[in-house]
Amino acid sequence: MNESGAQLARVQALTPDDPERVGGFSLRGRIGSGGMGQVYLAYTPGGRAVK
């Protein structure tokens, strides 16, 4: 598995409590969560992945 495949394997599905969008970003999954909040995998309107 290449590096991006390994990273995507760690992404969990969004829960019903997670937003689908934040600003102009479309959320696709949850990378992690903890005492300071959640980290999401998101995509720009142009299709670029950001986290």
pLDDT for residue 7: 52
Token duo for residue 16 = 């019903």
The reported pTM is 0.73
Residue ranges at the known binding site for ATP: 51
Domain ranges of the chain: 3-50
Per-residue confidence in pLDDT tens, the chain, 51 aa: 455 555 556 899 999 999 999 999 999 999 998 999 999 999 999 999 997
The CB density around residue 41, as the number of other CB atoms within 10 Å, is 20
The 8 Å CB, 24+ separation contacts for 13-20 are: 14/40
Residue ranges at the known binding site: 51
pLDDT for residue 10: 86
